Amino acid sequence: MTLRPELPGVTHRFIRAGALRMHVAEAGQGPLVILLHGFPESWYSWRHQLSALAAAGFHAVAPDQRGYCETGPPRLADRPAQIGDYTMLHLTGDVFALMDALGEERAVVAGHDWGAPVAWHAGLFRPDRIRGVVALSVPYRPRGSAPPIATLRSTLGESFYMVYFQEPGVADAELARDPAATFRNVLFSISGDSPGVTLIPPGGGFLDAGSEPAELPGWLTRADIDAYVGQYAEAGFTGPLNWYRNMDRNWELTGAWHHAPVLVPALFMAGDRDPVIGFVRPDGLADAVPRLTKSIILPGCGHWTQQERPAEVSEAMIGFLRGLG
């Protein structure tokens, strides 16, 4: 089973970033672009952009984020175990620790799925260090007036996946039972090739809201599934799920940024078949991000933008990066 598929021009190393021993994949030389993956993914979700950005004259660095795959303390067995070790302050702190370790004062941060809120908040917290934000699939939403999980529970109930993820051990065990089936289901079910997803049925699990494909879509290969399975073999799903278990804690910790806009230049991209923009709509994004350069909606694309539409995403990213000067 492949842990690190060989990609032309892409190298791997471990970097001491604060308290973490962070695994990164990187390519190219030039201005720094940090690529933050989502759930349940890894550095590998940026496999197409690493080479494209390098060819365009940028230093592209895609880490496994906190709790994911090969990133952890010096001894992986001691990876952060407490749920409270996965707050937005920790996650953005890891970005700046990585920049420090690379000897860079400033960078552009790109994020997909959960990586997008980390990128947005990096720009919110430290605009002096973030040249720009590229966010895929998840638009910026300023801090609201009520804790998010309580709000989701009252409006959508226990059948919404973010609520289901709150109980430690439950989703962890479900997703780890057959990782290959998990990745086939999740990567297909919210892609542009899927008929769609539903709420979790009573007594069911997260995977019951989606389905496995009869055959993999053209953008996703068996080798891709094997790569993700291999990367999750040791670390599992608990660290990634702990990100969700801090949503209310993040709300509590970010009171100083209540309704605050993101003031750095930004690019937003999403697929028009992505269920995420159905409940986190990008309407009004320009008000919350005054220096938004473009908001691009890709027809027929689902949630996995940079994997489903790699050439279009790379082209838009490179155009935005070159526009920063």
The residues annotated with a catalytic role in the active site are 113, 303
Q: In whole angstroms, what is the distance from residue 107 CA to residue 200 CA? A: 39
The residue written with tokens 């007036």 in the block is: 145
Closest CA to 86 of 39, 46, 132: 39
How much is the CA Rg of the chain, to the nearest whole Å? 18
The residue written with tokens 């933008």 in the block is: 305
Q: In whole angstroms, what is the distance from residue 292 CA to residue 303 CA? A: 21
Check the CA dihedral 129-80-304-192 and report its sign. negative
Which is it for strands 11-17 and 20-27: parallel, antiparallel or unpaired? antiparallel
Both tokens of 193, joined, read: 């090739």
Check the CA dihedral 187-193-194-196 and report its sign. positive
